Structure 1
Amino acid sequence: MTMNTSASNRRLRVLLTAIGSGALIPQPDFQRRLVWTNKDKVEFIRTVISGYPFPEIYIAAGRVDPKTGEGAEVLVDGQQRVTTLYQYFKGDPDLRLPADIQNYENLPENKQIEFLEYSVVVRDLGAMSIEVIKDIFKKINSTSYGLNAMEIDNARYDGEFKKFSEKLSEHKFFYDYRIFTSSDIKRMNDVRYCLGLVTTIMSTYFNRDKEIEVYLEKYNEEFDGKDLLNTNITMVLSFIDSMNFTASSRAMKKADFYTLFVEVHRLMIYEGVDLDNSKCRNSLDAFYEKVEEVSSNTYKGTEDEPQVYYKAALQASNDRSNRISRGKIIHSVLIGD
């Protein structure tokens, strides 16, 4: 198939009226849902009103009715940009503008014309099957290496919940105890890990990363209660820090710390238990020692918990069932049961 990849310019008014008439479909089912925050949209509108350029968009021919000659185009890449401008043009009440940006309808006529005549760089890919369009979309939104889950979400979400977890990942505690490797940080796995921690203490144990995107979207625009949550998290990290584990302790391995953090938070914040750092440290040391004995096949004890915990931390450690198993055991260890 010969593909037309040359770029051309279209007036913004042509794109906007095409959306209004249905001649341009801004959100084919394979595209990502709109996830820009109101702040993102405002800054983009400010860019266009100022006359600054933005990256090219991709369109392709959709279905054509051979009897009437009527057809539609699909927006292969650029839906968030074009849809935001359409919201501004139509005065969508969901778009909240700051005082320094006038509604489109209140702009002087010459400014309205400038907005409508704004030149957009468009690559028209021509007529092709939906399978090819999907493949092109995937390639446009990929890099030379595979994106991991956090890198994909980072490209989609930049709101309050993501920023909160990103700031948490930069906490001195994680640096001091070397929770994250340089590779973790480079691939944003540190942020993903903290997103999981925060999501878990706000809900409950879940399977792998299943709930993270739900919370990223739910609290993308606003994240009420984040100040209290931050205070509680700081309190939990301070308590764990006061137990003076070494960075090489099992307590500071990712799966083990995940469980310890969640259960300390549960006891201190939700159950109001006044934990003693010295007693907790002794109990955890004794328990982790048994787990290490299981690991080295030298465990001679009769208790099942060390063996259950070890298996739950070794294989499929992010499965909900294993997280629950580890959580129940560490909860009991912390309260001396």
Structure 2
Amino acid sequence: MFYRLNLTNYNLNQQEKRNSKDSVFGDKCEALSTYDFWETAKVFSSADAKRMKDVEYCCSIFILANEGIVDQTNGKKINDYYDDYRDDFDKDGALEKKILKAMDIIEDIIDKTTIGFLSKKAQMYTLFCVIFQMFDKKKTFENFFEKVKIFVSVYSKFRNEFVINYDDPVMSSLYESIKKYKLASSEGINKGTNRTIRFEILYKLCNEESEEVFQALGKMTDDMRQRLDAKKDKKDELEMDDIIDKEEQS
């Protein structure tokens, strides 16, 4: 009876309705949501936890580990997993081990410069995509932190309003990639196509060996910082003008 009530109660969100079902998959996802990792990375708010959005997100991570990037613009995929894996899921614990191993790597790159990026659900999902693929391709994680950190640095300062035309082909290509990544992070973030765009760009960078690329990213970060500083100075000037106007009027 409780299951029927949950399905008809308009106050319940999709995950709260799923929670009324008996499902091994659901139990695994709920257990994953209790790890301290999520608090360390500041991925979930207290409101997320109250409405079981943390469990729903962990469903997406398990699905990613199991079959790769999928489109999740609605709840159908998770609903199917709750039904299809009602009696058995990840029996040997291989998927859970894969996720926990990825969590260990991510924890090692969390600091004050990366936390703002990693705490965003879409970006954390992208990083899991990258790490899972690196596991599958048996890639090393040498300089992984430095590579992610420099990407986060330029990404956090990148603004679409700052149109820069670079003559250097490496700089121009990187600029367009980050612009594309930014767009794929700002709308339809759970679409399979946008998830794939973000993954491909970050994966390529994390496996890049050319020092020229990272020097170019460093220069781009400086360029963006200068434009942000100029914008801030202009805003400060405008605010000071307002103060002067008010003083003259008083």
Pairwise CA distance, 1:226: 4.6
Structure 2 residues without counterparts, runs of 5 or longer: 165-170, 210-250
- Write the mapping of 1:137-216 to structure 2, written as runs, cut at 5 A: 141-143=7-9, 146-155=11-20, 157-208=21-72, 209-216=75-82
Which amino acid is 2:192 matched to? R
Q: Which residue is equivalent to 2:179?
A: 307
Which amino acid is 2:103 matched to? L
Give, in whole Å, the separation in 1 of the partners of 2:55 and 2:40.
17
Pairwise CA distance, 1:140: 7.7
Distance 1:171 1:148, change over 3 A: same
- Write the mapping of 1:1-337 to structure 2, written as runs, cut at 5 A: 141-143=7-9, 146-155=11-20, 157-208=21-72, 209-246=75-112, 248-268=115-135, 270-276=136-142, 279-295=143-159, 297-298=161-162, 300=164, 302=172, 303=174, 304-336=176-208
Q: Number of residues paired by the alignment?
A: 198
C-alpha RMSD over aligned residues:
2.3
Give, in whole Å, the separation in 1 of the partners of 2:108 and 2:141.
11
Verify the 8 A CA contact 1:255 1:313 in the aligned structure 2. Answer: yes
Pairwise CA distance, 1:215: 1.6
Pairwise CA distance, 1:197: 0.9
2:71 alignment partner, SS class: coil
Distance 1:290 1:188, change over 3 A: same
Post-superposition Cα deviations, 1:167-192, rounded to whole Å, max 9, x if no partner, equal: 11111110112110001000000000
State, as a whole percentage, how many aligned pairs show the same letter. 23
Give, in whole Å, the separation in 1 of the partners of 2:43 and 2:24.
24
1:264 alignment partner, SS class: helix
TM-score between both structures, scaled by the size of structure 2: 0.72
Q: Greater helix percent: which structure?
A: 2
Verify the 8 A CA contact 2:147 2:205 in the aligned structure 1. Answer: yes
Give, in whole Å, the separation in 2 of the partners of 1:182 and 1:321.
30
Verify the 8 A CA contact 1:290 1:299 in the aligned structure 2. Answer: no
Larger Rg: 1
Give, in whole Å, the separation in 1 of the partners of 2:14 and 2:153.
34
Give, in whole Å, the separation in 2 of the partners of 1:179 and 1:292.
17
2:185 alignment partner, SS class: helix
Give, in whole Å, the separation in 2 of the partners of 1:197 and 1:203.
10
Pairwise CA distance, 1:333: 1.6
TM-score between both structures, scaled by the size of structure 1: 0.54
Which amino acid is 2:95 matched to? L
Q: Which residue is equivalent to 1:72?
A: none
Q: Greater strand percent: which structure?
A: 1
Verify the 8 A CA contact 1:293 1:299 in the aligned structure 2. Answer: no
Q: Which residue is equivalent to 1:89?
A: none
2:19 alignment partner, SS class: helix
Distance 1:226 1:158, change over 3 A: farther
Which amino acid is 2:108 matched to? S
Post-superposition Cα deviations, 1:151-207, rounded to whole Å, max 9, x if no partner, equal: 12112x232111111111111110112110001000000000010111012112122
